[in-house]
């Protein structure tokens, strides 16, 4: 009777370990083949792309995302993602061209980097 209980216990242990191994293998498979991650990985072409991320605090950040032809400015916290602004086509094009050029054109019409613009706004709000 004692050997039957030990055998049943070992059988249950083997079943639990088998389920854990299969779950691990399945998550590894999904991580490599998930279609939603294509735009966020470097070198991949997708309709959803992360353009820039600016950390503001421990769990807060500003995120610029391109979804198709539309660019969104999102506020991301540990609890929610909120749409702060949808950029117009002209604003998105100006921001995108400024972000792609390594050295922006000097002059009065040269767009300032996103991080500098945000710092200016935050300084004005503190005053």
Interatomic CA distance for residues 44 and 40, integer angstroms: 8
Quick: pLDDT tens for 102-120.
444 444 456 677 888 888 8
Q: What is the DSSP track for 35-96? A: GGGTTTSTT---SEEEEEEEE-SSS-EEEEEEETTEEEEEEE-SS-EEEEEEEPHHHHHHHH
Query: Can you give the pLDDT at residue 119?
Result: 82
Quick: pLDDT tens for 51-98.
888 888 888 999 988 887 888 999 999 899 999 988 887 777 777 676
From 84, 83, 116, 82, select the one nearest 99 (Cα to Cα): 116
Q: pTM for the whole thing? A: 0.43
């Amino acid at each position: 009777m004692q050997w039957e209980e030990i055998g049943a216990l070992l059988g249950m242990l083997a079943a639990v370990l088998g389920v854990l191994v299969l779950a691990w293998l399945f998550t590894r498979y999904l991580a490599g083949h998930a279609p939603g991650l294509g735009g966020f990985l470097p070198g991949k072409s997708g309709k959803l792309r992360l353009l820039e991320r600016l950390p503001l605090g421990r769990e807060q950040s500003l995120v610029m995302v391109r979804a198709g032809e539309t660019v969104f400015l999102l506020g991301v916290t540990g609890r929610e993602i909120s749409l702060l602004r949808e950029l117009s086509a002209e604003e998105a094009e100006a921001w995108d061209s400024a972000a792609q050029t390594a050295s922006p054109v000097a002059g009065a019409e040269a767009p300032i980097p996103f991080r500098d613009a945000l710092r200016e706004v935050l300084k004005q709000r503190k005053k």
